[in-house]
Amino acid sequence: MKKTTRFLLISVYYLIAVIFSMFFRVKQLNPDWYIHLLSFRYGWILFRLLRGVGPLIGGIFGILVFRNKYQRSITIKGVSLLVSTIYYLAPVLMTGLVGVAAINGENPHMMGLLSGILIIVYCLFEETGWRGYLNDVMRGFSSPLRYILIGILWYLWHLNFISSGGGSLKFGLLIHLPSCILGSWVIGQISDKYKSIMVAAAIHSIFNIFFDLEAGLNSKIIIVAGVLIIWITTSFFLDKRLAVVSSESKEP
């Protein structure tokens, strides 16, 4: 792929991702109807999902419009629908089992289930763009550089630095930016292995569980530990089988 073509494919996606998300990520730009969602019983679900709509739209647009200009390797289910499904549902299962802070007398386990579904769907929105599209478009770069660049773009897309005072900027540079680069590296490695947007979303959910889930630190640690046990067990029993399937799929 020519450098100018790659730059175009990256730029178009990124502009769409930023423009379609900025109205839901920057408080000063929030439309009234968006804020009003919080007045509904479960309006917070749509309120949070809309924050990730930019990468979803940008990723779908890029995949459909530019499909003949780059080689796509990462799909929704990847090399195994079974593995992708187990990875994808594990965070939902664990948040439901452990539970989260109850709201208005809601059952904490039901709220945990709803929160887990929200987190994993939100992460799928984001990962459709970051790993499902951008990771493939940027394969002209070495893997380390690709992960770092996506991490930087990912951090900037959050637009957290657009706020009053220097605290947000300091937090972003010292905590959020390194987290995005580390997350991009980890998610990139595993999504390259399983070729799955669902798996990428599942790995992404770990960061959201720690940063966004309405639960105590001990509950978050238990949830993440349970999720990791499910994933490690799945990989241990299915990776060899996947290698056989993968090699057979390459045979004429």
- Amino acid 202: pLDDT: 97
Report d(CA 129, CA 63) in Å as an integer. 9
Sign of CA dihedral 81, 83, 87, 92: positive
Q: What share of the chain is helix, strand, coil (3-state, %, to 5)?
A: 80, 0, 20
pLDDT of residue 157: 95
- Enumerate long-range contacts of 243-246, CB under 8 Å, 24 or more apart: 245/79, 245/80, 246/79
Please report, for the chain, the start and end positions of each structural domain, with discontinuous segments joined by +: 72-250
Within a 10 A sphere around the Cβ of 115, how many other Cβ atoms?
Answer: 28
Q: What is the rounded distance in angstroms from the CA atom of residue 243 to the CA atom of residue 10?
A: 31
pLDDT of residue 169: 65
One-letter amino acid of 220: K
Tell me the residue length of the chain: 252
Tell me how far apart the alpha carbons of residues 35 and 120 are, in angstroms, rounded to a whole number.
Answer: 22
Q: How many CB atoms lie within 10 A of CB 26?
A: 13
d(C-alpha 122, C-alpha 99), whole Å: 19
Confirm if 154 and 135 have CB atoms less than 8 A apart: no
The whole-number pLDDT of residue 248 equals 38
Pick from 144, 150, 149: nearest CA to 55: 150
Q: What is the pLDDT of residue 171?
A: 66
Enumerate residues 6+ apart whose C-beta is below 8 A from 87. Answer: 194, 196, 198, 199, 202, 203, 231, 234
Q: Which residue has the tokens 């590296």?
A: 185
**Residue that has been written with the tokens 């599942």 in this structure:** 202
Note whether 213 and 44 are within 8 A (CB). no
Phi, psi dihedral angles at 196 (to 5 degrees): -125, 130
pTM of the full structure: 0.91
pLDDT of 176 reads 86
Q: Hey, what are 170's tokens?
A: 């300091």
- DSSP string for residues in 68-96: TTS----BSSTT-HHHHHHHHHHHHHHHH
What is the token pair recorded at 215? 């639960």
C-alpha closest to that of 132 among 177, 183, 67, 206: 67
Contact, 123 vs 87, CB < 8 A? no
Quick one: pLDDT at residue 51? 95
| Per-residue model confidence as pLDDT tens for the chain (252 residues) | 888 999 999 999 999 999 999 999 998 899 999 999 999 988 999 999 999 999 999 999 999 999 999 999 999 999 999 999 999 999 999 999 999 887 777 899 999 999 999 999 999 999 999 999 999 999 989 999 999 999 999 999 998 877 554 456 666 677 889 999 999 999 999 999 999 999 999 999 999 999 889 899 999 999 999 999 999 999 988 887 776 444 334 433
